[in-house]
Structure 1
């Protein structure tokens, strides 16, 4: 079990490492040393309260970008973990009561095989009785009927045993179907959250594009040492990044909801 969990975690790690996060920002925001130097020069040139304001805006934006990356990592890790768990649950649904059903099937087949010779003998005996009656051989009919009456109890018990085993197998299969349906119903609760995640990802697209454009404007403004324009752009950048952060937090919350639903499904498999 531990080895299986280890392999699952390794696969998830590789997926997270090798696969581009579906939640990551589309905007290429890089805080290079040269950009920092240009910004410092712009802030220093402005001086006073403007310098203080610029530095706070810039640091706040850098902080929000770091948060956005952290949320991307958390979302991706939880998302891939959830997908792996969902896959495992669906696989285990197929194996519900597998051993129990196989055992009942074997018991039924064994009972049928053991009783078949008895049933064949009883059938032949009854055919002989019919033939004796047609020949109007009362003595033979009486002897054969006596034998048949003796076998009837054993045959009845054997047939009842087979019916009981068939009923147990049918009930087990019906129970499996009910359990599987219940778990699938629980998993279906995930769908609305996946739709909400899709909606939030779509909602992030617009501010991401605007963020990319504003970031280009920001680099041009600091290069030109335009403090007023730099501040205005930073204000817009903060607004956009705040919108993106809100959506990413929302996506993570939905992934947590999905995680809880999966846990409910897993509990039904224990």
Structure 2
């Protein structure tokens, strides 16, 4: 602080009015300096605290999502494979049966009854096999659907607990859009303050210091709000972890 005052005093102004303004500016800097530097330290600490909690939350969220994806994964994988194999096994027969039905319809529309009769004979020959094939495919597909529903029910309590996280993250993202320009404005004010100190411009230094201090107050409020939201995310994650399927 003494060095800053010495730098500013090194370039006094000749005008009595200007000197009075210069002295007033020195007093403003003197009175605000402790709060200004203290707020810098607090803000740096708050930002670091937010970053650490956000990192912890992101890690925890990834872990919870991984656990949710792993619920009944082996059973669902087996049933999914079985259903797909059943569909592939019976696909040729069912496609042929369906195609014959379309051909019969087309022949009847064209009033080609002979062709329709011959096609119907072919289709009826396949009917029993097609009915059985559809039943097997339906059984395999239903087993998979039922297992998915059971898994979803098991995951639901944890997913419900996670529900607030997406909205909170959107709020944080929106706040960050306001944070960035405020931080840039504050950084520019700090540069002007340092340049004014170097030039012995007490009036300019005081104005820049006050602007930077105001921006830091605004930024700290934003940072505090984002921290509150991160804490809510952390609470939601802990609740979700407790409700994960065993």
Q: TM-score, normalised by structure 2?
A: 0.59
1:223 is aligned to 2:223: no
Tell me the distance in 2 between the aligned counterparts of 1:264 and 1:43: 60
Per the alignment, in what secondary structure is the counterpart of residue 188 of structure 1?
A: helix
Q: Match for 2:216 among 241, 244, 250?
A: 241
Aligned to 1:176: 151
Tell me the distance in 2 between the aligned counterparts of 1:43 and 1:80: 47
Q: Describe the shift of the 1:231–1:92 C-alpha distance in structure 2 as closer, same or farther (beyond 3 A).
A: same
* Number of residue equivalences: 172
Tell me the distance in 2 between the aligned counterparts of 1:257 and 1:40: 48
Aligned to 1:38: 4
Structure 2 unmatched ranges of 5 or more: 13-18, 80-143
Aligned to 2:176: 201
Q: TM-score, normalised by structure 1?
A: 0.54
Tell me the distance in 1 between the aligned counterparts of 2:192 and 2:66: 51
Contact 1:43/1:55 (CA < 8 Å) preserved in 2?
Answer: no
Tell me the distance in 2 between the aligned counterparts of 1:229 and 1:173: 68
Tell me the distance in 2 between the aligned counterparts of 1:43 and 1:88: 59
Q: Using the TM superposition, give the Cα deviation of residue 175 of structure 1 relative to its aligned residue in structure 2, in angstroms.
A: 3.7
Contact 1:43/1:54 (CA < 8 Å) preserved in 2?
Answer: no
Q: Describe the shift of the 1:170–1:229 C-alpha distance in structure 2 as closer, same or farther (beyond 3 A).
A: closer
Structure 1 unmatched ranges of 5 or more: 1-34, 106-168
Q: Describe the shift of the 1:191–1:170 C-alpha distance in structure 2 as closer, same or farther (beyond 3 A).
A: closer
